[in-house]
């Protein structure tokens, strides 16, 4: 009975995660707390999940990345690689991305390269941004520290009484997987959209709302008389008046006080509204706001703005910036922008004030496209930091210095040198990630101890009856892939791990091939843009549709899966 209750609770968790209204962290923490309150999890095991050594290493790795991501080396190297034909550019660019992602947090790598790709003029950004995200994932599976999922699996192995993964244990299969994905990406370029800077899609990328004040000379005159039809690069899309929407707008439509004019157009042409008096853009006079510096940002996965409107959070006070426009993939947002709930991955065009860079909540809420509010590392600082990080990785790989100790020493050195401050560590501390992963580890223990994992194993055996251990191995991989497409990668690993371990026991096989199937499967999220944070980072800047991810992600996912399923049994045999 207990096993069925646990399975039912897991099913409810998955439904809520897919629904997306509640963030993963409170869902996982809530379920783990319920297990403790109902006696399915003892206090020591529950609290130990949040102090797991692998989780501590992940936190230190993310904090070290806060400094490394400020190094200009990624931008300098990448710009040179983007020249030449699209196929060659994608192959070179994804190779260097995968290399950096093998040792750095893939979110930091994509964040650092996002601006480089969107600002370069060699190729349309839409040809490069999906390959950037996919390559970051593929590179992450090559080392223990390449992605948080690998560290989660390693911690689950320790909890199960096994030895943890070594630094380069994932490389035996991970490196061939990354190389295969890079080749497939290079030859999938023709499947990606080409959004040139002068295309109509680009011209309709952003939307801007301007309220007509009672002092405006526009009042009482028609659209045509006010020359609102002759704005270069801007188009008056619709008018909000007394709660109703006027769309399309006729040339003879007369402007009234309080009208909200909604424009769509190019970033560089927004300043055309300065010539009209009495227009307010997000509560500020248009001429004052549009003289500000324009900056493009992407709402991050850690942002507190998700599912909230600009008016609810008092955006201008919060960031000293006004929202000039919002873009969500290629989707056209209509109506008043101040009332549009923001989503993770939305691109916002900001007119920033002089105090914007001094706000301490910028990095947590946004990925800046083509810029940073924090000072870049000097060439000397960059060399020293990267050399020290490389030394920590090398010493850990050679088993001279434990990774935990090396990261702790490096973190202390960065703080003492002033490159990383305690205030910055507090602002960027990954609380949500710690809560999600720690709770996932606790839930995984309950899945195993309650017998729920054995029930799932029995269902898998029935499904793959007659196909033996190979069929079960493939089933575990596919189950993990489905979970990672629907929920977070770390959650997929934590939920699939006890099932994999139970399956290995049922077949009296070595658990390692099943565990590696979980580890690689949990990083195989290529089909749905909303399932992985780096996909969301490139979704709006690339002006993609979901179909674009499916079109390119499907061949990559097939190639990735085939390579994993072929090579894991070779390097991690089923025989004990």
Taking phi first (over 0 means left), then psi (-120 to 50 degrees means alpha), and beta for anything else, what does residue 256 get? beta
% the chain with pLDDT above 70: 87
pLDDT at residue 61 is higher than 70? yes
| DSSP three-state, residue 221 | coil
315-373 pLDDT, tens per residue?
Answer: 777 887 777 678 777 665 655 667 778 888 888 877 776 677 677 677 778 877 755 55
Burial of 88 (0-12, 13-18, 19+ CB in 10 A): middle
User: In a 3-state reduction of DSSP, which class is residue 328?
Assistant: strand
Position 200 pLDDT exceeds 60: no
* Phi–psi pair at 273, nearest 5 degrees: -75, -10
Whether the predicted pLDDT of 557 surpasses 80: yes
Gap between the Cα atoms of 376 and 367, Å rounded: 15
Query: Across residues 160-167, what is the average pLDDT?
Result: 86
Would you state the pLDDT for residue 568? 96
pLDDT in tens, 465-514: 667 889 889 999 999 998 888 877 888 888 899 989 988 888 888 999 99
124: helix, strand or coil: coil
Residue written as token pair 């600009």: 310
Ramachandran angles phi, psi of 246, nearest 5°: -100, 110
Pairing of strands 284-285, 260-265: unpaired
Cα-atom radius of gyration of the chain, to the nearest Å? 25
Burial of residue 60, with CB atoms counted within 10 A of its CB: 0-12 exposed, 13-18 middle, 19 or more buried: middle
Residue 547: partners with Cβ closer than 8 Å, 6 or more residues away: none
Work out the burial of residue 138: count CB atoms within 10 Å of its CB; fewer than 13 is exposed, 13-18 middle, 19 or more buried.
Answer: buried
- Element housing 325 (H / E): strand 321-327
Question: How large is the average pLDDT for residues 279-290?
Answer: 53
152 touches 54 (CB < 8 A): yes
Q: What global pTM score does this model have?
A: 0.76
The arithmetic mean of pLDDT across residues 235-244, rounded, is 79
Query: What ranges in 20-128 are assigned the alpha helix state H?
Result: 24-37, 43-48, 53-68, 73-81, 86-101, 106-119
Which of the two residues, 445 and 336, has the higher pLDDT score? 445
Q: What is the DSSP letter of 487?
A: S
Tens-place pLDDT, residues 488-501: 788 888 889 998 99
* In the chain, domain spans: 200-368
Pairing of strands 234-241, 366-368: unpaired
- Phi and psi angles of residue 264, each rounded to the nearest 5 degrees, phi first: -130, 145
Mean pLDDT value across the chain: 82
pLDDT above 80 for 267:
no
**Bridge partners, 347 (sequence order):** 298, 327
DSSP H/E element including 16: helix 2-19
Q: From 315, 310, 302, 320, select the one nearest 357 (Cα to Cα).
A: 320
- 429 φ, ψ (degrees, to nearest 5): -60, 130
CATH architecture of the domain covering 200-368: 2-Layer Sandwich (3.30)
The kind and range of the H/E element at 264 are strand 260-265
Which range has the worst mean pLDDT, 55-59, 400-404, 467-471, 527-531?
527-531
Confidence of residue 265 (pLDDT cuts 50, 70, 90): low
Q: Is the dihedral of CA 329, 331, 335, 339 positive or negative?
A: negative
């Amino acid at each position: 009975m207990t096993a069925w209750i646990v399975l039912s609770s897991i099913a409810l968790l998955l439904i809520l995660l897919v629904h997306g209204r509640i963030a993963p962290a409170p869902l996982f923490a809530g379920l783990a707390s319920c297990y403790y309150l109902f006696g399915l999890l003892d206090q020591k095991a529950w609290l130990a999940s949040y102090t797991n050594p692998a989780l501590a290493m992940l936190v230190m790795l993310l904090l070290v990345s806060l400094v490394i991501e400020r190094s200009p080396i990624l931008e300098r190297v990448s710009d040179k690689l983007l020249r030449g034909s699209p196929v060659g550019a994608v192959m070179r660019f994804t190779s260097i991305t995968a290399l950096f992602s093998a040792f750095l947090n893939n979110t930091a790598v994509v964040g650092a390269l996002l601006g480089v790709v969107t600002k370069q003029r060699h190729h349309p950004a839409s040809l490069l941004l999906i390959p950037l995200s996919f390559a970051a994932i593929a590179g992450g599976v090559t080392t223990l520290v390449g992605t948080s999922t690998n560290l989660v699996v390693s911690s689950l192995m320790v909890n199960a009484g096994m030895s943890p993964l070594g630094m380069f244990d994932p490389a035996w299969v991970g490196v061939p997987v990354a190389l295969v994905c890079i080749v497939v990406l290079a030859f999938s370029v023709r499947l990606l959209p080409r959004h040139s800077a002068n295309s109509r899609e680009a011209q309709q990328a952003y939307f801007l709302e301007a309220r007509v004040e009672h002092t405006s000379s526009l009042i009482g005159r028609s659209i045509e008389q006010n020359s609102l039809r002759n704005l270069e690069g801007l188009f008056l899309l619709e008018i909000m008046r007394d709660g109703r929407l006027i769309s399309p707008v006729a040339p003879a439509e007369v402007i009234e006080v309080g009208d909200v004019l909604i424009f769509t157009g190019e970033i560089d042409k927004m300043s055309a509204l300065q010539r009209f008096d009495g227009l307010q853009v997000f509560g500020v006079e248009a001429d004052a706001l549009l003289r500000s510096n324009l900056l493009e940002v992407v709402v991050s996965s850690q942002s507190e703005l998700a599912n909230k409107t600009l008016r609810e959070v008092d955006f201008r006070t919060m960031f000293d910036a006004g929202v000039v426009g919002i873009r969500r993939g290629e989707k056209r947002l209509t109506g008043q922008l101040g009332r549009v709930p923001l989503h993770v991955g939305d691109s916002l065009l900001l007119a920033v004030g002089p105090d914007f860079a001094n706000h301490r909540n910028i990095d947590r809420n946004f990925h800046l496209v083509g810029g940073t509010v924090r000072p870049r590392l000097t060439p000397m600082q960059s060399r020293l930091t990267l050399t020290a990080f490389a030394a920590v990785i090398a010493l850990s790989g050679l088993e001279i210095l434990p990774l935990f100790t090396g990261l702790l020493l490096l973190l202390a050195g960065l703080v003492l040198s002033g490159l990383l401050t305690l205030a910055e560590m507090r602002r960027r501390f990954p609380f949500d990630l710690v809560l999600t992963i720690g709770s996932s580890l606790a839930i995984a223990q309950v899945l195993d101890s309650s017998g729920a994992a054995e029930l799932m194993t029995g269902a898998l055996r029935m499904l793959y009856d007659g196909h033996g251990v190979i069929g079960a191995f493939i089933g575990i991989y596919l189950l993990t892939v489905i979970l990672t497409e629907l929920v977070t990668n770390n959650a997929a690993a934590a939920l699939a791990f006890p099932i994999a371990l139970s399956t290995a026991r049922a077949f009296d096989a070595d658990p390692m091939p099943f565990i590696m199937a979980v580890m690689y499967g949990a990083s195989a999220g290529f089909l749905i843009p909303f399932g992985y944070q780096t996909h969301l980072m490139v979704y709006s800047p690339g002006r993609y549709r979901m179909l674009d991810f499916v079109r390119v992600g499907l061949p990559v996912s097939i190639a990735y899966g085939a390579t994993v399923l072929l090579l894991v049994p070779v390097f991690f045999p089923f025989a004990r």
